[in-house]
Structure formats: C-alpha cells, structure tokens
Structure 1
Amino acid sequence: MKMLVIYTHPNHRSLSYAFLQEVIKGGNENDRIEEIKVLDLYEEGFDPVLVFNEHKRRRDMYKEPALAEYREQLLWADKIVFVYPIWWGRPPAMLMGYIDQMFASGFAYKDTGKMLPEGLLKGKSAVCISVMQGPANYLLFFLNNAHKALMRKGLLNYVGIKKVKFFEFGSMESPRGRHKEKLNKIYRYFQAVAR
C-alpha cells in the first residue's frame, strides 16, 4: 500500500504536527505500507486561491500544468490521509483550496448526465485526522455533523472513495485532553492498518 499524507497546519510545533509524526511512525512500522509521501501544504507554499478568467477556465482545471505533480501524488496513493485542525467547524482554507483545485472534474470525477457523477478515484481509501479546541461532540450536536458530511459525502464519496475513517479529537487545548492517549491511538492505527 502506498500512502499520501496531506498535512495542513502552519506550525510544526502544533498538536496537528504531533499527530502527523505518529502517522509516519506507525506507518513506517507497518509491513503493508510500501511507501509514505508527505505533502505539507504550508511548507510547500501551495497556492489555495482559485483563479478563473479568459485564460484559465474551470472546466480545464484538471489539466492545469502547475498542478500536475499533485495529481500524480493522488493517483499514486492507495490511501490518502488528511491531518488538519478544525477551525470554525471546518478544515482550514488552505486545505479547502487544495481540494477545490485537485478534486476537479475530468480528474477526480466525470459527469455522466445522471444524478451523481462517476468517481474516478475508486479503489482508494481515506483517513481524516482532525483536532479542535472545542469538545468532540460539538460538531455532531451543534453543527449537524457538517465536517464529516463535507469530507465524506461532499468530497470523498463523490469522487469514488467509499472507505473513509475519521478521528476527530476535541478539547485538545485542555490539560485534560488526553493527548498522549490520542497520539498513541493514531500510532497504533497506522502500525496495524491494512487497506
């Protein structure tokens, strides 16, 4: 299994970065994982801003030359892992800008004239690891599970990725946030995960 980890946080001293390290550590100890690539969107200087004009049309985004390397990464991966904080009930704008550009029509899905398109990233799996200041149940009870609906139904299922696992860790700025326990949970998951 080949694994692409998409990390989205501007600070390498953050708890999100600590979770990234556990993903890598556990993955490196897993015989089923052949190779791990990490895409750090902030370190990479990824430009999340969409530009459409007379020279750049949305329908041509799937063949944008500047995004070719990122498309190759997504095609290469069997498992796509997203590591990010939850800000204002959703992933950071940097990650959303990556999603807007990378999961484009013609690359990640194609319209078929039916109610739903054909997902072109079938056979892959995904894991979403997110941390937030508020309690974990906040997203469920107060935001109607909007984060999971966005990532699972609005994005990943739409492009053909049906196997999606979530780790949503809340109260992470609290001294009672059980950080070590949660970090170890991620390490153990990636140490043992199959596909």
Structure 2
Amino acid sequence: MNLLVVYTHPNHQSLCFSFLEKVLQGAEINARVGKIKVLDLYKEKFDPALVFNQNKRRRDLYKEPELEVYREQILWADKIVFIYPIWWGRPPAMLLGYIDQIFVSNFAYKEIGRYIPEGLLKEKSIVCISTMKGPKHYPLLFINNAHKALMKKALFRYIGIRKVKFFEFGSMEDVNKGQKKKLQKIYQYMSEVAN
C-alpha cells in the first residue's frame, strides 16, 4: 500500500515529531507498505487561508492548479496518517486549512441531492495520531469528543472514508506519563498494519 503521512507541527523537536519518526520506522519494516511520502505542512509553508471570491469560486477549488500536487498525493495514497497536536480541542489551523482546501466538492465528494454527499475517496483508510497537554479523557468528558466528531463524522465519513483509527495521547507534557511506551505503540502498529 502507498502511505501518505501528513505532519502538522511547527517544531521538529516536539513529541509529534517523535511520533512521525516512529510512524516512518514502523512503516519501513512493514512488508505491506510499498512507498511512503511525508507532507510536512509547516516545512512546506502551506498557506492555510481559504480564499474565494467572485473570481475564485469555492465550487471550483478542485481545479486550483497550485493545489494539484496535494490532490495527487491523496489520490496516490491508500492509507493517510495525520500527526498533529490538539490545541483548543481541535487540530491546528494549519491542518484545518489544508482540509478546507483539499477535501473539496468534485474531488473528495460530490453532492447527489440536497445535503446528501457521495464520498469519492471510499477506498482509503485513515490513522489520526494526536497529542494533547490535558488528560486523555478530557475531550470525551468536557467537550463531547469534539475532535473525533470533527474528524470522523464531519470530514472522513462525508468523503466516504469509513476506516478510521485514532490514537489520542493525553498528558504528553508530563515526562512521567509513558511517552516511550506510547511511541513504541505507534511503531508496533505501523509495523503490522494492513490497509
């Protein structure tokens, strides 16, 4: 399978970057993984600002030439791994801006009736690896799992992707909360995962 890793953190000394390294190390020894591409949104200087007006219509975003490379990466991938921190109960604006501009109508989905989408990326699978300062159960207990609802229901289900795996790691700024064990868990998962 072709693996696309979308990494979203501005600091390469971060724990998120350590998770990226473990994803790549695990995938390298997985016989099911063919080719691997990494998209580092900050390194790429991806512009998260969604712009449309009379000359640039939202319904035409799927044809934007400067975004073609990102659409090609999505089409190429069988499995997409997103690595990002949870800030204010949701992914960073950089990742949300990428989502806004890439997973658009006539590329990721088409409308077949009022409010009824047909997902166009059905054959793909997703892994979301996220870190947060707060405890692991904070999103569930205090904000009704807003992060998972946003990613799984509002985005991935809408574009036809049903196979979604979440790794949400909490209390990650506390060095006594088993970071090595969590990094090893990701390495193990990626070394064994099939599509």
- TM bucket (normalised to shorter chain) is over 0.9
Q: Deviations over 1:146-181 (max 9, x none)?
A: 100000000011101100000000000012220000
**What is the CA-CA distance between 1:69 and the residue it aligns to?**
0.4
Would you say 1:119 and 2:100 are equivalent positions?
no
Structure 2 residue matching 1:134: 3-state secondary structure: coil
Partner of 1:43: 43
Counterpart AA for 1:15: L
Partner of 1:169: 169
**What is the CA-CA distance between 1:116 and the residue it aligns to?**
2.5
Percent sequence identity over matched residues?
66
**What is the CA-CA distance between 1:53 and the residue it aligns to?**
1.6
Q: Deviations over 1:31-76 (max 9, x none)?
A: 0000110000000010000111221110100110000000000000
**What is the CA-CA distance between 1:142 and the residue it aligns to?**
0.3
| 1:48-127 aligned within 5 A | 48-127=48-127
User: What 5-or-longer segments of structure 2 have no aligned partner?
Assistant: none
Counterpart AA for 1:123: E
> Matches of 2:116 and 2:79 in 1, distance apart?
23
Q: Deviations over 1:88-147 (max 9, x none)?
A: 000000000000000000100000015420000011000000000000100011010110
Structure 2 residue matching 1:62: 3-state secondary structure: helix
Over the aligned positions, Cα root-mean-square deviation in angstroms equals 0.7
Structure 1 residue matching 2:49: 3-state secondary structure: coil
User: What 5-or-longer segments of structure 1 have no aligned partner?
Assistant: none
> Matches of 2:104 and 2:115 in 1, distance apart?
17
Partner of 1:25: 25
Counterpart AA for 2:73: Q
Q: TM-score, normalised by structure 1?
A: 0.99
Q: TM-score, normalised by structure 2?
A: 0.99
Counterpart AA for 1:130: S
> Matches of 1:175 and 1:28 in 2, distance apart?
27
> Matches of 1:116 and 1:13 in 2, distance apart?
43
Would you say 1:4 and 2:4 are equivalent positions?
yes
> Matches of 2:27 and 2:120 in 1, distance apart?
26
Q: How many residues align?
A: 195
Would you say 1:154 and 2:154 are equivalent positions?
yes
> Matches of 2:168 and 2:150 in 1, distance apart?
14
> Matches of 1:50 and 1:34 in 2, distance apart?
33
